[in-house]
Amino acid sequence: MNDCPVCRRSMVTFELEGVEIDRCLSCKGTWLDAGELEEIAFRAGVPPAELHRALEEAGKGTSSTRRCPRCGRKLREFPLRSASGEEVLLDKCPKGHGLWFDQGEIYRAVSLFAGEGGHQGSVARFFSDLLKSEIQNRPNEKGESQ
């Protein structure tokens, strides 16, 4: 099962700096399997400890009408909150299969944990291909020259 939780269309696998992510080309949302958000944050130059803590402390959340693309269970909507109190509303599988990000939320979520120490630039660079693809409405094809 690999359908978009929002529009139920089949998602495509997209590689973001070596991490395989699932994207919906219709609503441009992104599904990340468990642990992939921390992996992406780490590769974007963000220390993953605070992010990991925020995920652990997020609680159960409230029931969403969206469904997990892995098990079909209803996702739980929850606020992912940074130490500075900013938050982004995400959806997670109650069985821990992963997280759903609406368009732009994956960048926002990682940015919240980039802190003040100059990580914002590296995060923006890391996500530039993904953000471009959101504009172009197609996946980053392998072998495409940059």
Smallest distance from Zn ion to CB 31, Å: 10
Selected from 71, 83, 86, 125, the binder of Zn ion by CB under 5 A is 71
Residue 45: other Cβ atoms inside 10 A: 17
Picking from 100, 94, 103, the residue whose alpha carbon sits closest to that of residue 3 is 100
**Residue 124 sits in the site that holds Zn ion (CB under 5 A):** no
**Residue 7 sits in the site that holds Zn ion (CB under 5 A):** yes
Binding segment (CB under 5 A) for Zn ion, from list 16-24, 31-39, 52-60, 126-134: 16-24
Is there a contact between 78 and 70 (Cβ–Cβ < 8 Å)? no
Task: Give one DSSP letter per residue of 37-58, joined into a string.
Answer: HHHHHHHTT--HHHHHHHHHTT
Q: Interface mask (CB under 5 A) for Zn ion, residues 89-108, using x and -?
A: ----x-x-x-----------
